[in-house]
Chain A
Amino acid sequence: MNDFLLIFRRDFTNKDAQPSPEELQNSIKAWQNWFGGIAAQNKLARPLQRWDIAGKVVKADKHVINGPFVEIKESIGGLIIVKAENYEEAVEIAQSCPILELGGTVEVRMASDPEG
């Protein structure tokens, strides 16, 4: 088994791209079921961690801006680390991630050894 980082990104700034309150409500259940489904397969590699939505960005000139970030089209909505045999299996988990229903994307990255 390998550890895979799954990063969920979505456009939080464009008004047209925002889900309706009802969609958001349903989405909460979908997230819980998705996390529960991964945990049911004993594939959660780390405890879940919530992240503040607003956050800050440090720019090249060391200037700090507060979120949400108009300059970044897709912000990180969250991330989890799962256990999977290979990319194929990790991608299969990512394919049922609720962020996709909200027009977002999931980036999948395998943890690698420092030596490897």
Chain B
Amino acid sequence: MEQQELIPHLFRSEYQKIVSVLCRLFGIAHMEIAEDIVSDTFLAATETWSTKGIPENPTAWLYTVAKNKTKNYLKRDNLFQQKLSPEIQYHAAKTEEFELDLSVKNIGDSQLAMIFTVCNPKISTESQVALALNLLCGFGIQEIADAYLTNKEVVYKRLQRAKEKLKEVNVRIEQPGFAEISERMETVLTTLYLLFSEGYYSTTQNVTLRRDFCAEAMRLAYLLTDQERTNLPEVNALLSLMCFHVSRFDARANQDGETILYHDQDESLWNQELIDQGKYYLGLSANGNLLTKYHLEAGIAYWHTHKEDTQEKWLQILQLYNNLLIIEYSPIVALNRTFALGKVYGKAAAIVEAEKLKLTGNLFYYSLLGNLYTNIDNAVALQHYRQALLLANSNADKATITRHIQHLTA
């Protein structure tokens, strides 16, 4: 990899690792110090590497510098030392012996502890996602702003508020016990799911960034499956869902970044390795009796990896959508369910069900009706597509709807 590519990647992945270890060591109240030490380390790396070239083992170089900077910080700032826990004070007092533990195990433990610290139900979901992007994934303010199509100041303020809140509610960062795991797992999974969706459905044109968001969400999910205590069926279900979705990443857009709908996708671009992984985790998710929305969504995504339109496929998808709606209503699931119903029982039956939904502010409601009325009553279909076009905001949506209109008026 070239230096321009290597450094941001390395910094991102090492940032969250060192920050997690330091935050766990210092406590969340001193997270700025942790962040400062890591930023200083990267600054030193940028300066040194630009003149002397990248060292053979850049990660080890970063760890050595981070360790020294931590040691120096503790030596220099006696006041800070006094605020730390007696245990760290004891070690830090003998600064010559103090060694920041950046072993694979301690990094893994610290990251897990950080996931459960950030995903605190007392913090708003939006803040949790922002914190996860920054602290758990190492994305910078600019990158987060790009993904959310907003400016740096907005993201900066949001992060500051979230960090204040985190300090307010958290006293200690520690390995989650079984009680915390069962109490917080739902929040953790929601945050990882949103993080993933942010990448998968983001309207930003930056494809690399979107992939990175998805990859980070998956990395955190892998981290959970890696530890016995958190390797739960619902975690496997979420990971399975992510694998199936990402397997279609390359097939979802053409070279101009326009969306390619499922029906028109070139299945040779689907990533078979990820599909197999998805199946593997789906199998593991079936342990126990728990059936979460992640199980159902993974099941739906699984059936979508069968390109061929069979009666069996759509019957299964319809029942999974039915159950998903019974657990939790969402307009988009209601629309997808109706589409699946049309595949099983025909368009006429689906029109009756679709018109009951009355989602008149939703462009996909009109796209669905446009689709269902096509070849049944093309004039009505056209009306619906035109209504959808009025509601469309993104260029990708507009392009897709316009294609349907052209097809009907040709």
Contact = CB atoms under 8 A, between A and B. Distances in A.
A78 to B, nearest CB: 14
B240 interface: no
Interface string A29-52: 100110111011110100110000
A41 B321 CA distance: 13
Interface stretch (B65-73, B158-166, B334-342): B334-342
Contacts of B318: 33, 36
A37 to B, nearest CB: 6
A32 B356 contact: no
Contacts of A47: 326-327
Contact of A33 (B333, B341, B357): B341
Given A32-B319, A33-B322, A33-B341, A39 B356 contact: no
A41 B319 contact: no
B323 A40 contact: no
A40 B333 CA distance: 8
Contacts of B323: 32, 36
Interface string B327-350: 101000110011001000000000
Interface residues of B, number: 19
A39 B322 contact: yes
B332 to A, nearest CB: 11
B129 to A, nearest CB: 25
A40 B326 CA distance: 8
Contacts of B397: none
Interface in B2-60: none
B329 A37 contact: no
B334 A40 contact: yes
Contacts of A33: 318, 322, 341
Nearest to B322: A36
Given A32-B319, A40-B337, A48 B353 contact: no
A41 B333 CA distance: 11
B405 interface: no
Most interface-central of B325, B334, B337 (chain A CB within 10 A): B325
Contact of A35 (B326, B338, B341, B358): B326
Contacts of A41: 334, 356-358
Contacts of B325: 36, 39-40
A107 B356 CA distance: 22
Given A33-B341, A36-B337, A44 B353 contact: no
A2 B358 CA distance: 18
Contacts of B327: 47
A100 B319 CA distance: 21
Contacts of A44: 326, 329
A33 B337 CA distance: 10
The 4 lowest CB-CB distance pairs between A and B, nearest first, are A36-B322, A39-B325, A40-B334, A42-B329
17 contacts: A29-B319, A33-B318, A33-B341, A35-B322, A36-B337, A39-B325, A39-B334, A40-B325, A40-B329, A40-B333, A40-B353, A41-B356, A41-B358, A42-B329, A42-B334, A44-B326, A47-B326
Given A36-B322, A39-B325, A40-B329, 16 more contacts: A29-B315, A29-B319, A32-B322, A33-B318, A35-B326, A36-B318, A36-B319, A36-B321, A39-B329, A40-B325, A40-B338, A41-B356, A41-B357, A42-B334, A44-B329, A47-B327
